[in-house]
Structure 1
Amino acid sequence: MKKALRKHFSLAATAFTLGSVLVAPTTTLVSAQEESEDGVLNFETAVTHEGEAIEGGTLRYALVGDPFAGVLNNLLYTGNPDASIIGFFNEGLYGYDSSFAIDNSGFADIEFDVDNKQVTISIPEGTSWDDGEPLTIDDVIFPYYVVGHPDYTGVRYGSDFENVVGMAEYHAGEAEEISGLERIDDYTLRVTYINFNNSMLQAGGGVSSYVEPEHILGEVPVAELEDHEAVRTNPVGFGPFRVTSITPGEAVTYEANEYYYKGQPNIDNLVLEVVNATSIVAELKAGNYDLATLPADQYDTYKDATNFSVIGQISNAYTYIGFKQGSWDAEAGEVVPDDSKVTSSKALRQAMAYAIDNDAVGAEFYSGLRQNANSLITPNFEAYHNFDQEAYTYNPEKAKEILAEAGFVDNDGDGFVEDLNGEPFTLGFASMSGGEVAEPLAQYYIQMWGEIGVSVELVDGQLMEFNSFYDRVEADDPAIDIYQGAWGTGGDPNPTGLYGRTSAFNYPRFASDEHDALLEAINSDDSFEEEFRVNAFNEWQAYVHEELPVVPTLFRYELVAVNKRVSQYDSEIGSDLDWTQISLTADSPVAE
């Protein structure tokens, strides 16, 4: 469901909790819950339920995981829970197809002018925000001035925005306007770029998809936006639903937006509540919720459910182990590598990758619903994912050899190697709470690293809550040497936004001249030529596979529970189904 039921793709990637429900990737979907030849389960991406629609009604949506942070604005949020909440009341500008390529099926139309490095964005006339105020092209221009402002507190400013002509000067305080933004009329904007690579064609790529209510947010100093009531308690959007109340961290209630540009939804109200991953299956079976993501580690408990259907889609997401190798210089806006860190040793990183058995993790912890990842480019992007690149597989003897050859030796006989200076070390490991397997999975990794002689302990001796985890990882907490995270990569395979030198999302703080050059090729004008682009992606994948700033661990496939009173639902990427086409067939969710 484009931009309404699915998360929309912003220029920033999205962080996931490890308890999110996803399955091993495959590009062929068969009937729901069938098993393919390689033993991987496959699921239908859509479902239709029989029954006569009632008038209105309230849909109950379970947001599975920890309490949400409540930064309910596309320019400022960092976590997927907040993104899920935003998706119901505010959307992105563009529609996209099953390959995440921008098309004209969404709110705005877009024209590409490769020769002049320009895009022209047109929005429909006569549309409104959910408070009834007119929506104009000024609301599309406004986000550029927020993200580019010197006082901006979010993480969206980076290479994509700096690619707009005049943005760097505005960001530095050297210009009052962004020269590359040309307001044609109330409904048309022309943007001129410095570089014009093929990422411009992708949802979540180089063209900003943001639209925000200038008539409200424009009255707030940029430095104060993140904590303002228009972001935290009373947000305004132009999506299918309007926020009516927020219980911080716990729940959001919505009502149908009569100003929605596609028409008012059939469902009167929507209630979103945070539900712990350990209890969501019982809640669904009891008929307490209509929609929810499903935890892969509990698959056996819901695979035969009778009151809800299970559908799935390939997820452009992966889990990974990250190694802290430097810090973030906020003033300079770039990564500062630190070669003195023990985790800055490529040999150590490779050895730790060979020490873990991700095939076994997928089979034992996730009922075979996840699979060893071989790349940081997900298989959704078939043209750019290198299917021939081998993943790191379990090989403890090779891991020990790599350590020994690099100089990591157990000199004192305690079973753990010392660093390259002969000093003992213990790595602080940060991992998130959530789901039944979070704790045993973290302990499994610690055990396996210990078996090759690398001492690892959980930071503070326990798992971290989602928001605390990312706060500390983003702040380069010195207690964290390695961490287990997950990325939803949005609609663009370009890795610059996650791993570029000037990206705040580059949490490992990895950078090198060679890496800069490889990313520069991906972002060059030459990348509009398909063969060049594919080669550039393959070269980058090979480099990070060798250098290993992070270890990709598991590919994922999202599963969704749809109660049988929901008339229809579609999780496929690029689906045209929206909330104006969905109804309820009973006054409350069906119980088992």
Structure 2
Amino acid sequence: MKRVFSFLLTLCLLLTALLSGAALAEGSTQITIGLVGEPDTIIPYMYTADKDAMVIMQMMPYLFKRNDETSIPEPLMLESCEFDADTLTYTWKLREGYTWTDGEPLTIDDVIFTLNTLASADYTGGASTNVSSIAGYTEAHSGETVGMSGVQKVDDYTMTVQLSAWDPTFLGYYCDPGAILPEHVLSGVSFSDWAKTDFAEHPVTYGPYKLVTWEHGEYIKLVKNEAWAGEPAQIDTVIFRFAESATTFVNAYMNGEIDMFKAPIEDVETLAFMDNTKTYVCSGSNYPLYPNLIKGPLSDVEVRRAILYSYTPETIAKAVFGDYGEGSCSVFVNRNWAADKSAYPYTEDHDKAKSILEADGYVMGNDGYYQKDGVTLAFTSLCTGSEQNDLLTLWQSSLKKSGIKVNIKLVDWSVMVETISNQETADYGTYTFGGGDGDPSGLMVLYCSDFDAAKGGFNFNRCGDETLDALWYAGQAETDQAKRTEIYHEINTYMLDNALLFPFVEKNTVWVANGTIDGVVINSLSNLVNLPSFTK
């Protein structure tokens, strides 16, 4: 019995050493990253969550990456990407030298196979959108043809991709996600059978790291892929350790059990004071307030303008999120190339807000709130969480100084969606939900008349008129980046001048990392780590 106990104890200590990096070969480096939740899959184009993408992107990098400053897609695995605006045709030239981990060369045939697979009638995952703007997609997806007419091979490392119509979001699909599938492994395998193949647990990949162990319920272990032809990885071994919540990783980090994780905002300050700790602040979610434009007091543009003079977004953001929040001053996320921070025309000025209301026929009541025709200037702001409630409470207090009454109503997400879907009967003034970065044309579904909720779209507050609609479509159709920027700046100015939304706050994401790790790069859109640049 003593021998058995001794063996088990030795085994436990050995496992602990392996996970902590103590058993690494001399001179080797290892980091352990906390991952909230175990990946559901590591098969590209089957996954739906960041926890899956975090692992996949280390083994199968994307064709493009986003510029850290502008979020505009740039070639990563491609040597070049040229675009002919007259024919709507991209010419992609793949860098030579890439190989699959089974030794097979990676060529443009694999890229073509990937695009045509996503377009096929057999593929039922969510990434068909990635290729839906390519010529011949409709025929391929219906099963009428095998492959898309818009995808053509030029040589082993060059191809052309012709769009059926200009799509400014197209290249972005190959940043997040944009992995290449191995034709020699998956050709002839039905999409429904992908998860049943060896590829599901032992994928053939090509990136800077490759999978060696997936211990379900505990961790995934990756090691450097020496055959990778791109930027070589500097860390030899990477372990993704799973937990149900980020809170679990707070103690794990403090105890030296992990090197890096995406930390809860409320714990960042404590962790940042630890010796040899670094924090990395990344762009997070944008929370604008969408006013009810067709019913109630906010249908009056003068009331909306008075509100915009009644608060300072930055003050509210800092009060709730501290150094990890910032005020929004644009229709678009602050860091997006379409945002024009200098164009924000409003500063908190309660006297000005009052003068606007009084010129609009409102008079101050005995209760400190303005009235018109005996009706108090009041509305309800919907929110779906305690964090939003905290933000709105500060907004409520600030608007009160201008004589505007805000009632806050905390509801379930489903209730909010049901409420805002029928504005003719809905009793509310504003609602909010978070949005991220990406091509600004994606926001037209929220602000363009063609996407009105009454038509089944997402424009719940019925924003949009002929001028605004024309601008959104012009921004979507323009292929010149400088001209696109001008158009979206014009959209921003028009929407702010007409008070069609209330810019509010942005909540950033914070990664906490062991100070011995250098070269940390965070994917600008998804806030996932890009490991090859890390050193330790």
Shorter-chain TM range is 0.5 to 0.7
Verify: 1:523 aligned to 2:485, yes or no.
no
Alignment-derived partner of residue 435 in structure 2: 487
Matched residue count: 491
Amino acid corresponding to residue 61 of structure 1 in structure 2 = I
Alignment-derived partner of residue 206 in structure 2: 238
- The whole-number CA distance in structure 1 between the counterparts of 2:79 and 2:103 is 19
- The whole-number CA distance in structure 1 between the counterparts of 2:215 and 2:421 is 31
Alignment-derived partner of residue 457 in structure 1: 409
> Could you report, residue by residue, the CA deviation over 1:319-374 in whole angstroms, capped at 9, with x for unpaired residues?
2135498xxxxxxxxxxxx9689998878877776665422223322334432111
1:122 to 85, 90, 93: 93
Alignment-derived partner of residue 319 in structure 1: 286
- The whole-number CA distance in structure 1 between the counterparts of 2:40 and 2:259 is 22
- The whole-number CA distance in structure 2 between the counterparts of 1:477 and 1:578 is 39
Q: Which has the higher contact order (CA 8 A, sep 6+)?
A: 1
Amino acid corresponding to residue 326 of structure 2 in structure 1 = Q
Structure 2 counterpart SS, 1:121? strand
C-alpha root-mean-square deviation of aligned residues, in Å? 5.5
Q: CA deviation at 1:442?
A: 5.9
Verify: 1:377 aligned to 2:329, yes or no.
no
The answer to whether the 8 A contact 2:393-2:408 is kept is no
The answer to whether the 8 A contact 2:383-2:389 is kept is no
1:430 to 366, 370, 384: 384
* Max Rg structure: 2
- The whole-number CA distance in structure 2 between the counterparts of 1:131 and 1:372 is 49
In structure 2, relative to structure 1, the CA distance for the partners of 1:245 and 1:79 (3 Å cut) is same
Verify: 1:88 aligned to 2:41, yes or no.
no
1:60 to 26, 32, 37: 32
The answer to whether the 8 A contact 1:399-1:452 is kept is no
Q: CA deviation at 1:385?
A: 2.9
Alignment-derived partner of residue 5 in structure 2: none
1:367 to 322, 330, 333: 322
The answer to whether the 8 A contact 2:94-2:158 is kept is yes
> Could you report, residue by residue, the CA deviation over 1:67-102 in whole angstroms, capped at 9, with x for unpaired residues?
478465664655545443433333211255544455
Q: TM-score, normalised by structure 2?
A: 0.68
- The whole-number CA distance in structure 2 between the counterparts of 1:218 and 1:356 is 60
Alignment-derived partner of residue 342 in structure 2: 388
Q: CA deviation at 1:305?
A: 2.6
Amino acid corresponding to residue 253 of structure 2 in structure 1 = L
- The whole-number CA distance in structure 2 between the counterparts of 1:77 and 1:55 is 35
Amino acid corresponding to residue 222 of structure 2 in structure 1 = E
In structure 2, relative to structure 1, the CA distance for the partners of 1:407 and 1:426 (3 Å cut) is farther
Amino acid corresponding to residue 528 of structure 1 in structure 2 = D
> Could you report, residue by residue, the CA deviation over 1:440-469 in whole angstroms, capped at 9, with x for unpaired residues?
446555777898334332124xxxxxxxx6
Q: CA deviation at 1:183?
A: 2.4
- The whole-number CA distance in structure 2 between the counterparts of 1:204 and 1:556 is 24
Verify: 1:544 aligned to 2:495, yes or no.
yes
Matched ranges for 1:86-165 at <5 A? 86-95=56-65, 97-98=67-68, 99-106=70-77, 109-125=80-96, 127-130=98-101, 135-145=106-116, 147-148=118-119, 161-165=131-135
In structure 2, relative to structure 1, the CA distance for the partners of 1:321 and 1:109 (3 Å cut) is same
In structure 2, the gaps of 5 or more residues are 1-23
> Could you report, residue by residue, the CA deviation over 1:509-557 in whole angstroms, capped at 9, with x for unpaired residues?
86645444222212334x4273x33321222212333566654423466
> Could you report, residue by residue, the CA deviation over 1:263-314 in whole angstroms, capped at 9, with x for unpaired residues?
566422412434745565554333232122345444542443312223456x
- The whole-number CA distance in structure 2 between the counterparts of 1:151 and 1:471 is 36
Q: CA deviation at 1:242?
A: 3.8
Alignment-derived partner of residue 190 in structure 2: 220
The answer to whether the 8 A contact 1:74-1:210 is kept is yes
Amino acid corresponding to residue 33 of structure 2 in structure 1 = Y
Q: CA deviation at 1:174?
A: 6.2
> Could you report, residue by residue, the CA deviation over 1:203-243 in whole angstroms, capped at 9, with x for unpaired residues?
56899945334544863347x98xx5689964844333345
Matched ranges for 1:284-363 at <5 A? 284-312=253-281, 315=283, 317-321=284-288, 323=290, 357-363=312-318
Amino acid corresponding to residue 370 of structure 1 in structure 2 = G
The answer to whether the 8 A contact 1:118-1:193 is kept is yes
- The whole-number CA distance in structure 2 between the counterparts of 1:555 and 1:146 is 37
Alignment-derived partner of residue 19 in structure 2: none
Q: CA deviation at 1:197?
A: 7.8
Structure 1 counterpart SS, 2:341? coil
Amino acid corresponding to residue 374 of structure 1 in structure 2 = C
Alignment-derived partner of residue 188 in structure 1: 158
Counting aligned pairs with the same residue, the percent is 21
The answer to whether the 8 A contact 1:103-1:109 is kept is no
The answer to whether the 8 A contact 1:497-1:505 is kept is no
- The whole-number CA distance in structure 2 between the counterparts of 1:56 and 1:165 is 49
Matched ranges for 1:390-409 at <5 A? 390=344
The answer to whether the 8 A contact 1:292-1:561 is kept is yes
Structure 1 counterpart SS, 2:435? strand
- The whole-number CA distance in structure 2 between the counterparts of 1:100 and 1:360 is 26
Amino acid corresponding to residue 533 of structure 1 in structure 2 = R
Amino acid corresponding to residue 342 of structure 2 in structure 1 = D
- The whole-number CA distance in structure 1 between the counterparts of 2:228 and 2:277 is 29
Amino acid corresponding to residue 286 of structure 2 in structure 1 = T
Alignment-derived partner of residue 256 in structure 1: 223
In structure 2, relative to structure 1, the CA distance for the partners of 1:87 and 1:246 (3 Å cut) is farther
The answer to whether the 8 A contact 2:58-2:208 is kept is yes
The answer to whether the 8 A contact 1:473-1:507 is kept is no
Amino acid corresponding to residue 221 of structure 2 in structure 1 = Y
* Structure with more of its chain in helix, by fraction: 2
